Amino acid sequence: MAVLSILEFPDPRLRTKAAAVDPARVTQPEFQRLLDDMFETMYECPGIGLAASQVDVHQRFMVIDVSEEKNQPMVFINPEILARDGEQVYQEGCLSVPGIFADVTRANAITVKAVGRDGQPFELSTDGLLAVCIQHEMDHLEGKLFVDYLSPLKREMVRKKLAKQRRQSA
Ligand code: GNR
Ligand code: NI
């Protein structure tokens, strides 16, 4: 297992649109190892989700664990949202935009279809934090970040704040 390094805003690689995963690859050891490494990276941070795009793997999958006990790992490969309902506002953060938090409005409830780590398709209807996290991770796969929902002025302030944080920790 290995902790992978996470790309940070405004790295242009975070803007890459991820390509579909060949479902036949899912059960191969190489892909399973990548999933394990992504969980290890996410738990170490700690975070509640991690999209492959954030570790410079531009394929459509993500790992999530929103449980308190960190014992409910979930894998979504080639995810698609089949239905959405209502709205919720949640104060989001992102491992690729460290130290920045902002309110984002998203669907309250979603039904998502994906392939699991066993290679089998499944459907899940959920709401609340898990629904927020799934939508946040699916944005990463499209090259989109939560700061894109802010005004251009606020996004520029975020970029400057991160640049300053990096200068001070260098
Ligand atoms: O760890 C994370 N917390 C979080 C909090 C509110 C809304 C979304 C998230 S996802 C984030 C991890 C991450 O950046 N995933 O891409
Ligand atoms: Ni994120």
Tens of pLDDT, residue by residue over 32-56, are: 999 999 999 999 999 999 999 999 9
For residue 30, indicate whether it is catalytic. Answer: no
Task: Check 87, 92, 137, 156 and give the catalytic one.
Answer: 137
Residue with CA closest to ligand 1 atom 11: 94
In the chain, the percentage of residues whose pLDDT exceeds 90 is 98
pTM over 0.95: yes
Percent of the chain as helix, strand, coil, to the nearest 5: 35, 30, 35
> Helix or strand or coil: residue 142?
coil
Distance between CA atoms of 151 and 153, rounded to whole angstroms? 5
For ligand 2, the distance from its centroid to the CA atom of residue 26, given in whole angstroms, is: 23
Distance between CA atoms of 122 and 102, rounded to whole angstroms? 31
pLDDT band at 170 (very low <50, low <70, confident <90, very high): confident
Give the tens place of pLDDT for each residue, 131-155: 999 999 999 999 999 999 999 999 9
Nearest to 105 by CA among 60, 46, 146: 146
Distance between CA atoms of 79 and 138, rounded to whole angstroms? 7
